[in-house]
Amino acid sequence: MQHRLALILPIYFLILTTSLFLAFCLRFDFNLGSTGLSWFIASLPFVLGVKFAVCTATREWTHTFRHATIADLVVIGASCGISVVIFLSFFHFFSDQTSVMLSDQAFVIPRSVILIDALLSMLLISAFRVSCRVIWKKWKRSHLKRPTESALIFGTDETAIGIWKMLMASNGCLERYHVVGFIDPGSSKQRSLIGGQKVYSLEECKEQSRLAGIQHILVPTTTAGSVVRDLLHQCEELKVKVHKIPTVEEIVAGRFRLAVRDLDIDDLLRRPPAKLGLKEIGESISGKTVLVTGGAGSIGSELCRQVLSFRPAKLIIYDHSEYGIFQVEREFNEQEFPETELIYNTASVLDPEALEGVFEKHSPQLVFHAAAYKHVPLMQDNPYAAIRNNIMGTKQLVDAAHRHNVERFVLISTDKAVRPTSVMGATKLMAEKYLQAMAQTSSTKFITVRFGNVLNSVGSVVPTFRKQIELGGPVTVTDENMVRYFMTIPEASQLVLQAGAVGNSGNVLILEMGEPVKIVDLAKDMISLSGLNYPNDIDIQFTGLRPGEKMYEELFYSHEKSAEKVHEKIILGSGFAPSVMQINNELQQLKETLNSEPAHIAESLWEIVNQYVALDDSTGSGTEKIPAAA
């Protein structure tokens, strides 16, 4: 600090002296004469003394010069303002001009000189600070090895500009990328600059990629998937690579570090984030005991991560997979959750003694039931396992929750339960119906949440495609017209928590899934993201529908499409709710057939399920139009 002051004080002496001299010159139209010059010389020690005292009081000199900010300029303005107040207060006895006798020498300072001097001082000191910052950055850049690959930031909103500011702290470079401008997706032609960087339209970007060698586009992680998908397809022909970069908020929150990553299939299907009712979710979870069945699965483990952010008193992670529980335990042990007791339980929902032990020992207040068999073709061949796990297992868990007065019970269901054509979908519909029946008599609030496919879940199409691409293909797709609804695992889990917080007993809540996506388009996108080309590098092979599969899935019955929304992305469904006696009789009949041949078991299941489908569909038209793929 002392060494820095030895350099700064002479510079400030020159700046403030120059400022006062120019103020006198401007006041007297650059014709000072001997009188004006004597006033300047006589007043200089007094003016410098006051300004140096004010700078010391405001700690002006402790602010770093190499990293000048708007806050520093505010301090400079405040210092100059305080100086003006001191001068005017000191000379308040005089009207037109100020004069005082110091060291037997009279001097005069007109009020206009005081104001002009304050303005000039502020401008000159600010210019000095900004010059220091500019010179420092230029010197630093000249001594660094500049990356050779030019990149543009996608967007001109606060998110994109925030990313650019972070990169400017690294001299506008990150890893091997050097940022040279922005892309404004909403304009055909641009002439603006942001921080000295050119803003291009998409059309101009295409031209610049050829002329100026733009090689990369950095897209904020919050950008909608449809926008990223369109951008990716436009950039393929230009040989420009598209990457994702985290936002300032995500880095500050600790979810990501400042780094560029390649696109993932999740990025192409990402939707604008839902506005969650954090207060409602917090009230339903904070300080309570939460049980998550299937807690080691794709949805279950993400539910556990989301639940932990709301600081429950106790989280019970219940799953029949020993390896899955081990993986989750290892992940959570690497983090700190001081307000939450974590309990790991390796057991099946079909084990009544294990379930009863958990409820008696821990008394959960909130249950998320994610444990289920979900693989359609596999369950089609194994109706015994599907019925026992998805129906009987759910019944045992619901009954235990009822006996122990659980506050809320949330069932994770599927769009395959709407007019089911598969054994898996039929068993999930029966699970929904059992919850609706129990909701009529129980003090526990039983809520069903229904949604479509989630990306990257175990056994889903995305990991399958990824493995096939790694092996060199071909990628197998059922049919070129097959469409599915998709949602990322984190978004689905967040909306499940929201639904569990706002739903009422007996509700079937349906998550808004956006537009359906063609599976063949998903396969092509994954091939492209792998740096390969369809059909030159990897081909797609169509295999035909398997037993139980649909060409398209339905989230609603016809009459539910205009139903009430309980949240911007959650729709309140409806449907026939059987009595407890009716469904228990039907489940007993079904249970008695479980020792039969698979075909007979499935036939018994369909006899029960078809009547519920007819009742649920009775208020609708009975026909459903195939949704158009995105």
Can you give the pLDDT at residue 4?
A: 65
Can you give the pLDDT at residue 257?
A: 62
* Cα–Cα dist 518/523, whole Å: 9
Q: Is the pLDDT of residue 206 over 90?
A: no
Can you give the pLDDT at residue 530?
A: 77
Torsional class of 554: left (φ above 0), alpha (ψ -120 to 50), beta (otherwise): beta
> 179: domain CATH number?
3.40.50.720
Q: Within a domain: residue 606?
A: yes
Q: Within a domain: residue 478?
A: no
Can you give the pLDDT at residue 410?
A: 95
Can you give the pLDDT at residue 95?
A: 46
Cis previous bond, 535, omega within 30:
yes
| Same structural domain, 387 and 413 | yes
| Same structural domain, 133 and 223 | no
| Same structural domain, 364 and 248 | no
Can you give the pLDDT at residue 352?
A: 92
Q: Which neighbouring-strand residues pair with 289?
A: 314
| Same structural domain, 215 and 338 | no
**Residue 353 has which token pair?**
């003694």
Q: Within a domain: residue 101?
A: yes
- Residue of 416, 428, 433, 445 marked catalytic: 416
| Same structural domain, 433 and 573 | yes
pLDDT tens for each residue of 15-65: 888 888 888 888 877 777 777 787 788 788 888 888 888 888 877 777 776
pLDDT tens for each residue of 525-539: 888 877 777 878 888
Q: What is the pTM of this model?
A: 0.70
pLDDT tens for each residue of 367-381: 999 999 988 889 999
Domain that holds residue 356: 285-454+486-513+560-617
% residues pLDDT > 70 (the chain): 84
Q: Is the pLDDT of residue 393 over 90?
A: yes
pLDDT tens for each residue of 74-127: 888 888 888 888 887 776 655 444 455 444 455 567 778 888 888 888 888 888
> Residue 213's CB: how many other CB atoms inside 10 A?
11
% residues pLDDT > 90 (the chain): 27
Q: Within a domain: residue 396?
A: yes
Long-range contacts of 560-565 (CB under 8 A, 24+ apart): 560/510, 560/620
Least-confidence region, from 4-13, 470-479, 586-595? 4-13
Is 137 catalytic? The answer is no
Can you give the pLDDT at residue 96?
A: 46
| Same structural domain, 252 and 339 | no
The CA-CA-CA angle for residues 459, 463, 464, to 5°, reads 80
Q: Within a domain: residue 170?
A: yes
- State the average pLDDT over residues 365-394: 93
* Cα–Cα dist 497/495, whole Å: 5
The pLDDT-based confidence of 621 (bands split at 50, 70, 90) is very low
Q: Within a domain: residue 56?
A: yes
| Same structural domain, 375 and 497 | yes
Decide if 454 contacts 530 (C-beta within 8 A).
Answer: no
Q: Choose among 363, 374, 241, 383: nearest CA to 312.
A: 363
Can you give the pLDDT at residue 219?
A: 86
| Same structural domain, 46 and 126 | yes
* Cα–Cα dist 451/496, whole Å: 9
**Residue 501 has which token pair?**
């917080």
Q: Is the pLDDT of residue 172 over 60?
A: no
| Same structural domain, 226 and 88 | no
3-state class percentages of the chain: helix first, strand second, coil last, to nearest 5: 50, 15, 35
Q: Within a domain: residue 200?
A: yes
Can you give the pLDDT at residue 627?
A: 40
For 6-30, the three-class secondary structure string (H helix, E strand, C coil) is HHHHHHHHHHHHHHHHHHHHHHCCC
Q: Within a domain: residue 546?
A: no
| Same structural domain, 155 and 108 | no
- State the average pLDDT over residues 456-484: 82
Q: Is the pLDDT of residue 425 over 70?
A: yes
- What phi, psi does 411 have (nearest 5°)? -95, 130
Picking from 97, 114, 142, the residue at the C-terminal end of a domain is: 142
The pLDDT-based confidence of 189 (bands split at 50, 70, 90) is low
| Same structural domain, 49 and 66 | yes
| Same structural domain, 425 and 353 | yes
Instruction: DSSP for 107-130, please give it.
Output: EEEEHHHHHHHHHHHHHHHHHHHH
Structural domain count of the chain: 3
